[in-house]
C-alpha cells in the first residue's frame, strides 16, 4: 500500500518556504522574491515517488502587521494547518527570533500533528547565520530538526524520508504527472507579479494585483498574452508605468523572457496598468 497526505510549510516571510516547495517538486510552482509577503495563496506542490505522494502546501509568511491584507494572509496560512498530516516549520538563521517567530511557535504548540523544524539557508557561511544556535534551541515539540538548504537542495531527501514515515496509507490525491494545483492562468499572473515585486520599491509591490485577460496561441505559433496590473492608487499607477513606459516595459520583458525560457514558445506579452482601489478588500 502506498502512502499519501498533505504537509504544510509554515514560517515567517522570507525564510524560504516557496523556494523549498520548488526544490522539493523540482520545478518552479511558487514565486520567490527577496521581499516579504511574496506568497499570497496556498500553492500546492506535489511530490511522487515509489512510496507514494506528498502534497506540500506553501503558505503566506506570517507577518505581524494589522493591515487587512496581512491579516488575511495570516489567516490563509493558519487555515492550511487544518486537516493535514504534518507541518514543516521553516526558520531562517540569518535573522533574529522576534515576536513573529514567537507568535508562530505559540500556534504550532497547539497543533497535534507532527512538526519538523527545518533550519534553512545552510549554504550560507556560518558568519552569515548568527542565529543558528538560537534556531537549534527552538522547541515546539518537533519530531526532528534538520539543517537544510532549499537553494542547494541540501538534506531535502532526509526531510522527505521523515515525512513519508509520518504519512498514512492512502491513494494519491492528484494524478502522478500533476506537479501543482496552480492553473496556467494563475501561474502566468503570479510570474508577472514576481517580476513586478522585483522591480518595485517600498510599499508599491503590496498594492499590486495581476489579472490575465487573455492567453491565446496563434496559428503561427506565437503565444499572445494580455494581462492587467492593478494598483490601489493613481500615484502608484504612474510609478508602475514609469517614464515613457520604462517600468512596465522592464516588468513585461522580465516576465516574457522567463516564460519563453520555460515554455520554449515565442511570447507576445501585453500589460495594462489600472487603478482598482478595492482589490485588497475583495482578496480572499
Ligand atoms: N542562501 C539561501 N537563500 C535562500 C534559501 N531559500 C530561500 N532563500 C532566499 O530567501 C528569499 C525568500 O525566499 P522565499 O522562498 O520567497 O521565502 P518565503 O518564505 O516563501 O517568503 P514569503 O512568501 O514572503 O512568506 C529569496 O531571496 C530566496 O532566494 C536558501 O536555502 N539559501
Ligand atoms: Mg513564499
- Greater confidence, 280 or 229? 229
pLDDT digits (tens, 9 = 90+) for 35-65: 999 999 999 999 999 999 999 999 999 999 8
pLDDT at 197 over 80: yes
Residue 151: predicted pLDDT: 98
pLDDT band at 283 (very low <50, low <70, confident <90, very high): confident
Residue 11: predicted pLDDT: 98
Report the chain's mean pLDDT, rounded to a whole number: 96
149 lines ligand 1 (CB under 6 A): yes
pLDDT mean over 59-74: 92
pLDDT digits (tens, 9 = 90+) for 79-108: 999 999 999 999 999 999 999 999 999 999
Ligand nearest to the CA of 43: 2
pLDDT at 222 over 90: yes
* 243 Cα: distance to centroid of ligand 2 (angstroms): 31
Residue 174, C-alpha cell as written in the block: 492528484
Nearest C-alpha neighbor of 40 from the set 55, 28, 58, 52: 58
pLDDT mean over 273-284: 89
Give the integer Cα–Cα distance in Å for 143 and 7.
14
84 lines ligand 1 (CB under 6 A): no
pLDDT mean over 218-228: 95
Pinpoint the residues of the chain covered by CATH 3.40.50.300: 3-166
pLDDT band at 192 (very low <50, low <70, confident <90, very high): very high
Quote the distance between the C-alpha of residue 188 and its chain's center: 14
Sheet of 144-147: strand order equals: 43-49, 52-58, 3-10, 86-91, 115-119, 144-147
193 lines ligand 1 (CB under 6 A): no
pLDDT at 284 over 80: no
Pinpoint the residues of the chain covered by CATH 3.30.300.20: 184-282
230 lines ligand 1 (CB under 6 A): no
81 lines ligand 1 (CB under 6 A): no
Domain spanning 3-166, CATH architecture: 3-Layer(aba) Sandwich (3.40)
Q: Whose CA is nearest to atom 9 of ligand 1?
A: 16
pLDDT at 281 over 90: no
Residue 66: predicted pLDDT: 81
pLDDT digits (tens, 9 = 90+) for 16-34: 999 999 999 999 999 999 9
Question: In degrees, to the nearest 5, what angle opens at C-alpha 272 toward C-alphas 270 and 58?
Answer: 85
* 252 Cα: distance to centroid of ligand 2 (angstroms): 21
Looking at the domain covering 184-282, what would its CATH class be? alpha beta
Residue 70: predicted pLDDT: 92
Closest ligand 1 atom to Cα of 148 = 31
Alpha helix segments (H runs only) across 67-223: 68-79, 99-109, 132-136, 156-166, 184-199
Residue 282: predicted pLDDT: 85
* 220 Cα: distance to centroid of ligand 1 (angstroms): 39
Give the integer Cα–Cα distance in Å for 284 and 280.
8
74 lines ligand 1 (CB under 6 A): no
Residue 65: predicted pLDDT: 83
Of the chain, the percentage scoring pLDDT greater than 90 comes to 95
154 lines ligand 1 (CB under 6 A): no
Amino acid at each position: 500500500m502506498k502512502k499519501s497526505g498533505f504537509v504544510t510549510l509554515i514560517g515567517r516571510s522570507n525564510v524560504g518556504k516557496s523556494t523549498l516547495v520548488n526544490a522539493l517538486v523540482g520545478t518552479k510552482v511558487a514565486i520567490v522574491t527577496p521581499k516579504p509577503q511574496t506568497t499570497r495563496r496556498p500553492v500546492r506542490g506535489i511530490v511522487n515517488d515509489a512510496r507514494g505522494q506528498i502534497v506540500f502546501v506553501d503558505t503566506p509568511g506570517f507577518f505581524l502587521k494589522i493591515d487587512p491584507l496581512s491579516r488575511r494572509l495570516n489567516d490563509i496560512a493558519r487555515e492550511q494547518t487544518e486537516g493535514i498530516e504534518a507541518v514543516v516549520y521553516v526558520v531562517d538563521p540569518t535573522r533574529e527570533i522576534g515576536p513573529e517567530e514567537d507568535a508562530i511557535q505559540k500556534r504550532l504548540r497547539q497543533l497535534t500533528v507532527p512538526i519538523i523544524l527545518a533550519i534553512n539557508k545552510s549554504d550560507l557561511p556560518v558568519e552569515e547565520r548568527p542565529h543558528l544556535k538560537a534556531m537549534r534551541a527552538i522547541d515546539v515539540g518537533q519530531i526532528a530538526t534538520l539543517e537544510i538548504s532549499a537553494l542547494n537542495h541540501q538534506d531535502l531527501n532526509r526531510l522527505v524520508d521523515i515525512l513519508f514515515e509520518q504519512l498514512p496509507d492512502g491513494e494519491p490525491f492528484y494524478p502522478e504527472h500533476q506537479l501543482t494545483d496552480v492553473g496556467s492562468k494563475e501561474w502566468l499572473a503570479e510570474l508577472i507579479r514576481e517580476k513586478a515585486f522585483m522591480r518595485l520599491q517600498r510599499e508599491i509591490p503590496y498594492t499590486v494585483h495581476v489579472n490575465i485577460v487573455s492567453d491565446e496561441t496563434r496559428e503561427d505559433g506565437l503565444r499572445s498574452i494580455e494581462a492587467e496590473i492593478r494598483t490601489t492608487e493613481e500615484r502608484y499607477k504612474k510609478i508602475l508605468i514609469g517614464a515613457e513606459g520604462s517600468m512596465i516595459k522592464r516588468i513585461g520583458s522580465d516576465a516574457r523572457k522567463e516564460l519563453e525560457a520555460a515554455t520554449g514558445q515565442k511570447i507576445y506579452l501585453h500589460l495594462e496598468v489600472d487603478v482598482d482601489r478595492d482589490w485588497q478588500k475583495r482578496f480572499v
